[in-house]
């Protein structure tokens, strides 16, 4: 049964709820692409579906605005799939269990995908509404933003005529983003030798952390479960590592890491000690559970277990540099998002970000040098460029003006430490003038994700007003 029927703007939430019923995790966007194509077809709108799955839908200008420059409205089709521990949910099949309470829409037990389903829903509501005055509209839906902006990277875009673009992939109403960090993913791996194990084995689970978005929340001092587990293992004097696995996405601060170790030490006492000394104000619920496990026949050698822990403990993580130019802006950072033990190898996957392209490459070089010390290897992929600040931006000017007219106060104009597709899109669409905005969303990329209903309404009515003025 529809849960969002009574919310306003009605058509926006209607489409949002439909989107939530269609699986659309990153890498699994075929169904949602098809849904967008069907939407365009059934309304007689021109559309282009690119091979990678990006969908472009066009709507001619309303009467009298035919000579205006087109406006591109853009969002991404994919969502981050995270679920709460113990929740049974198949992101490839199940509909999200959307619900609302007070001012918030959320999904029971999983991410909501308000990031960025609400953009898709708003665009659909705008496209179907013939009562709004607007210039030619070109809606661009990209795929696989969350895992490396692959849709924007592969965008052909020849069909896009507009050179002013509103990206609806930000999370704070009243804030216009005009510049962002570039990024890249890096995976560092080291090989380890094994031996026969004679020691008792334990399953160690470290959890209870807050986590969050590895870009916009990297400065909040939250613990990273992968780093915390490495730090805990380094407190054990005599221990063989069997495996360590944690995190699900390189762009989410990991909240749960599991290790299997073999040791004669009183590991439960050490765990209690560690928790006592390492729980922080931002992560007061840090928890380590130690359970006796069945005996594993093989473990990493003592030397290589130590080498692995040294490797993990020495990995850089978090903020590397604050911006000298913009107050409170993290310029360069990285997040150790995923640890995986497989085939006698431990691999560590990072999301790196910087608003200075050179600094991103330097950090990548540093990681490469670091892993070489452990005879390991680094792979990197999914480079995306920083979106640089434009001194002259007619779009930003008019957007600020309309916002002030409508709400009596200027919006905040900011640069952020997160990736937005605007950097790549600026490379593809020559001379692009872009601004990013969005409704209030909280704890995105986590199963506590919430979307503010009132801010969706406010933003939507702003966009309607803006289109009239463009
Ligand atoms: Zn997003």
Domain boundaries of the chain, sorted by first residue = 10-181+386-469, 184-384
Q: Would you name the residues annotated as active-site residues?
A: 78, 145
Count the neighbouring beta carbons within 10 Å of the beta carbon of residue 48.
Answer: 18
Ligand 1 center from residue 76 Cα (angstroms): 7
What distance in angstroms lies between residue 235's CA and the mean position of ligand 1's atoms? 38
Ligand 1 centre from 423 Cα, in Å? 14
Separation of CA 45 and ligand 1 centre (Å)? 25
- Distance from residue 116's CA to the centre of ligand 1 (Å): 5
pLDDT value of residue 116: 97
What pTM did the predictor assign?
0.76
| Cα 169 to ligand 1 centre (Å) | 5
**Helices 453-469 and 10-20: crossing angle, nearest 10°?**
120
pLDDT of the residue at 323: 87
pLDDT, residue 192, reads: 98
Cα–ligand 1 centroid distance for 306 (angstroms): 39
pLDDT at 382: 83
- Using the mean position of ligand 1's atoms as its centre, give its distance from the Cα of residue 151 in Å: 13
Quote the pLDDT of residue 205. Answer: 98
- Phi and psi, residue 298, nearest 5°: -120, 150
pLDDT score recorded for residue 1: 66
In angstroms, the Cα distances linking 294 to 207, 261, 297 are: 22, 11, 9
Instruction: For 406-437, give one letter per residue: b (16+ CB within 10 A) or e.
Output: eeeeebebbbbbbbbbbbbbbebbeebbbbbb
Parts of the chain with a pLDDT under 50: none
Q: How far apart are the C-alpha atoms of 429 and 152, rounded to whole Å?
A: 11
CATH code of domain 10-181+386-469: 3.40.630.10
- Bridge-partner residues for 26, per DSSP? none
| d(CA 114, ligand 1 centre) in Å | 8
Q: Which residue has the tokens 């035919």?
A: 66
Q: 308: CA distance to ligand 1 center in Å?
A: 34
Q: Three-state SS string across 242-261, please?
A: EEEEECCCCCEECCCEEEEE
Q: Which two tokens stand for residue 207?
A: 């959890």
In terms of phi and psi (left: phi > 0; alpha: psi -120 to 50; beta: otherwise), the region of 247 is left
Burial of 398 by CB count in 10 Å (0-12 exposed, 13-18 middle, 19+ buried)? middle
Closest CA to 333 of 313, 356, 312, 310: 356
pLDDT of residue 67: 96
How is domain 184-384 classified at the CATH fold level? Alpha-Beta Plaits (3.30.70)
Q: How far is the CA of 264 from the centre of ligand 1 (A)?
A: 46
- Distance from the alpha carbon of residue 94 to the mean position of ligand 1, in angstroms: 21
């Amino acid at each position: 049964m529809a849960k969002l029927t009574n919310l306003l703007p009605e058509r926006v939430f209607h489409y949002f709820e439909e989107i939530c019923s269609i699986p659309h995790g990153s890498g699994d966007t075929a169904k949602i692409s098809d849904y967008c194509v069907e939407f365009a077809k059934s309304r007689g709108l021109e559309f282009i579906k690119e091979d990678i799955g990006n969908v472009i839908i066009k709507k001619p200008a309303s009467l009298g605005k035919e000579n205006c420059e087109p406006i591109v409205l853009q969002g991404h089709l994919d969502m981050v799939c995270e679920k709460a521990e113990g929740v049974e949910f198949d992101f490839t099949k199940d509909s999200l269990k959307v619900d609302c309470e007070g001012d918030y829409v959320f999904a029971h037990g999983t991410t909501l995908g308000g990031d960025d389903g609400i953009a898709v829903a708003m665009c659909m509501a705008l496209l179907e509404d013939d009562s709004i005055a607007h210039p030619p509209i070109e809606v661009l839906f990209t795929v696989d933003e969350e895992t490396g902006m692959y849709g924007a990277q592969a965008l052909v875009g020849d069909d896009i005529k507009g050179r002013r673009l509103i990206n609806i992939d930000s999370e704070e109403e009243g804030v216009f983003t005009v510049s962002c960090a570039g990024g890249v993913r890096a995976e560092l791996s080291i090989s380890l030798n094994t031996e026969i194990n004679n020691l008792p084995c334990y399953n160690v689970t470290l959890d209870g952390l807050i986590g969050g978005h590895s870009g916009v929340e990297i400065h909040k001092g939250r613990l990273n479960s992968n780093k915390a587990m490495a730090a805990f293992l380094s407190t054990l004097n005599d221990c063989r590592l069997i495996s360590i696995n944690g995190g699900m996405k390189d762009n989410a601060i990991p909240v749960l890491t599991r290790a299997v170790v073999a040791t004669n030490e009183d590991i439960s006492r050490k765990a209690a000690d560690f928790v006592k000394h390492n729980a922080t104000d931002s992560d007061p619920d840090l928890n380590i559970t130690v359970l006796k496990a069945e005996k594993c026949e093989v473990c990493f050698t003592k030397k290589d277990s130590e080498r692995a822990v040294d490797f993990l403990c020495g990995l850089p993580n978090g903020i590397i540099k604050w911006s000298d130019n913009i107050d409170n802006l993290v310029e360069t950072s990285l997040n150790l998002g995923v640890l995986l033990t497989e085939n006698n190898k431990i691999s560590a996957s990072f999301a790196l970000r910087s608003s200075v392209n050179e600094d991103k490459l330097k950090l990548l070089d540093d990681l490469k040098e670091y892993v070489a010390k452990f005879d390991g290897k680094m792979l990197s992929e999914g480079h995306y460029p920083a979106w640089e600040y434009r001194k002259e931006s007619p779009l930003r000017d008019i957007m600020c003006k309309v916002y002030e007219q409508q709400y009596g106060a200027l919006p905040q104009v900011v640069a952020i430490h997160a990736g937005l597709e605007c950097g790549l899109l600026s490379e593809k669409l020559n001379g692009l003038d872009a601004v990013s905005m969005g409704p209030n969303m909280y704890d995105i990329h986590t199963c506590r994700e919430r979307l503010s209903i009132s801010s969706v309404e406010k933003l939507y009515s702003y966009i309607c007003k803006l289109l009239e003025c463009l």
